[in-house]
């Protein structure tokens, strides 16, 4: 007799890519605060696929206070949720470490 355990679904936090775009991760203001968290959308150049999204997300995730990162190569947008506003130079360094370029905070 064996028991089967169903594992919960795990999200990779990256959606869309040049390989299979699945829509935009953002609409509205570039930075907003809700329920004590800060959401900021950055523009990153050079991302072309899911691997790029993972590299950028992984590096930004290591910044203290970051709780969620969603990168979308098709749009070049990276949405970051953090406990408090992040130092843009820390985000720039993380994006550079991943091999891409931070163009700045999204104006859309």
Q: Is residue 81 part of a domain?
A: yes
**Residue 90 domain flag:** yes
Provide the domain limits for residue 87. 31-105
Q: Quote the number of domains for the chain.
A: 1
Encode pLDDT of 25-66 as tens digits: 333 334 555 568 999 999 999 999 999 999 999 999 999 999
Q: What is the mean pLDDT of the chain?
A: 79
Give the global pTM: 0.69
The residue ranges of DSSP E strands in 1-108, in sequence order, are 31-34, 37-45, 66-72, 77-82, 101-105
Question: What CATH number does residue 86 fall under?
Answer: 3.30.70.100
The whole-angstrom separation of Cα 54 and Cα 76 is 13
- Chain segment 76-88, per-residue pLDDT in tens: 999 999 999 999 9
88 domain-assigned? yes
């Amino acid at each position: 007799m064996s028991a089967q355990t169903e594992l919960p679904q795990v999200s990779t936090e990256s959606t869309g890519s040049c390989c299979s775009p699945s829509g935009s991760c953002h609409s509205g203001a570039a930075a907003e605060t809700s329920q004590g968290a800060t959401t900021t959308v950055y523009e990153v150049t050079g991302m072309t696929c899911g691997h790029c999204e993972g590299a950028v997300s992984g590096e930004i995730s290591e910044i203290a206070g970051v709780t969620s990162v969603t990168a979308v190569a098709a749009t070049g947008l990276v949405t970051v949720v953090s406990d408090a506003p992040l130092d843009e130079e820390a985000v720039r360094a993380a994006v550079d470490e991943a091999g891409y370029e931070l163009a700045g905070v999204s104006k859309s």
